[in-house]
A and B are shown apart, each in its own frame.
Chain A
């Protein structure tokens, strides 16, 4: 590599990349600068050596595009041309939009009866559900009342039985007390002497 401070520009000149305004100045510089002249010569010899190896011929032509398989059909060509034309595309867009507006304007509205009927049907179902729930709740309450009543009756009967048993026990005790009292009065006379 040349030690000259214009070495970089010299290489640009060698590869035809130097701005046109600087070419003449560089050519004059090469005439006077031995380092750059020698460097240019070496660079040209190197590139000549590289270029001495020619391009190879391609072993097989690349022809897949000409194959009919790759060629678009007439319809595909039409659509391809169509989509690539903004004017035609815009016209068709306008037609589609217009058609959509007309269709929406003339389209029949749905009959309202169906909606009313649906609402009524919904109301009937709600009423039936409410009635069924009320009936079920009443049955449950009735059953509860019956069970409460039966439980109370059973408790009263039990209390009555216990009362009778207790009454009988009290009567037995009373009789024993009376008997003991009579026996005691019989043992003690009118003067108060016991067990004569």
Chain B
């Protein structure tokens, strides 16, 4: 992770000197993570791909505004978070996103279908804020302070959302642990 941050910082320095290929490297390193993060938020591959394009375009246009190159990951995911919520607002302007959104998820290949469905259903029962905390911590592996930076929320709030979500998920997934992971 440290080496990755160092390499990112080097690539960002090159991008700031108008080296397009350096930005291409950055895109290839982060595109899969950004796409999957957006897919877990939106549940729609087409929307996630379109949003990913927008995220990297905005990142390219604003990379000179990035103060600390070592924080590229949280900075990039903050753009992704903002883009996803802009889309939600466009689609449902009257919503305040407090109610859990039900997302239809396609089962992942190569995993027991019942476990995929169980995990998807359990995640869908969380509020969008809880789900995003789980995605950023469990799937993306960000530190609490990085998640706070991405969401613009205090660390204590992030921890509260995550741990409440994990209590719910433990209950939801308890019977399926043994089923799918056998």
Q: Does A108 count as interface, using CB distance less than 8 angstroms?
A: no
Q: From B20, B21, B53, B180, give the contact of A52 (CB < 8 A).
A: B180
Question: Chain B nearest CB: distance from A169 CB in Å?
Answer: 108
Q: Do A51 and B138 contact each other (CB < 8 Å), given the known contacts A57-B32, A72-B18?
A: yes
Chain A window 91-103, contacts with chain B (Cβ cutoff 8 Å), 1 for yes, 0 for no: 0000000000000
Q: Given A55-B32, A77-B18, A80-B18, are A50 and B144 neighbors across the interface (CB < 8 Å)?
A: no
Whether B119 and A43, one on each chain, are in contact in the complex, defined by CB atoms closer than 8 angstroms, is no
What are 24 A-B residue pairs whose CB atoms fall within 8 Å in the complex? A8-B163, A11-B159, A17-B144, A49-B169, A49-B176, A49-B177, A50-B123, A50-B134, A50-B138, A52-B111, A52-B119, A54-B108, A55-B33, A57-B32, A58-B32, A58-B49, A62-B52, A62-B56, A64-B56, A65-B23, A66-B24, A71-B20, A77-B18, A84-B16
Q: Which residues of B contact A (CB under 8 A)?
A: 16-18, 20-21, 23-24, 27-28, 31-33, 35-36, 39, 45, 49, 52-53, 56-57, 60, 108, 110-111, 115-116, 118-120, 123, 134, 137-139, 143-144, 159, 163, 166-167, 169-170, 173-174, 176-177, 180-181
A57 nearest CB neighbor, chain B only? B32
**Interface size range of chain A in the complex:** 35 or more
- In the complex, the answer to whether B119 meets A66 with C-beta atoms within 8 Å is no
